[in-house]
Structure 1
Amino acid sequence: MSTVQITQSDLQASLPDTTSDIHTDHIKNEVSITRDIHGIPHVKSANTYDAFFGQGFATAQDRL
């Protein structure tokens, strides 16, 4: 049996980029995605369509 050591650096590298602004033509208004201390995304937007887009984006960040 072999042992693999995972470092803090490894964990940090696997987290999504949450500091960049991303611009797209697929939403009508601004969408804000913030994450709490546990990494849970909180999506705020002016309408439902944009909220679902933001939720999908946050999910994609977590999965990739």
Structure 2
Amino acid sequence: MPWIKFTKDFDWQPSSQTIITYLAGHTLFVPRACADLALKADAAVKTRRPEGVSGKFTRKT
């Protein structure tokens, strides 16, 4: 999962019943499939992890 900065609003449809809208200017950690489509659509650029974010993600059980 890469860090992506969205340069345009982008709608990603991971399934036939779900659409996720990413807004221009947001920098997020997104699934690879989303990143690939956003990059191909020129709606995002790859970036580094934002300063102040530890990079350690844990799941609540």
Is this a same-fold pair by TM over 0.5?
no
Bigger relative CO (Cα 8 Å, ≥ 6 apart): 2
TM-score (norm 2): 0.29
Greater share of residues in helix: 1
Greater share of residues in strand: 2
TM-score (norm 1): 0.28
Q: Please say which structure displays the higher CA radius of gyration.
A: 1
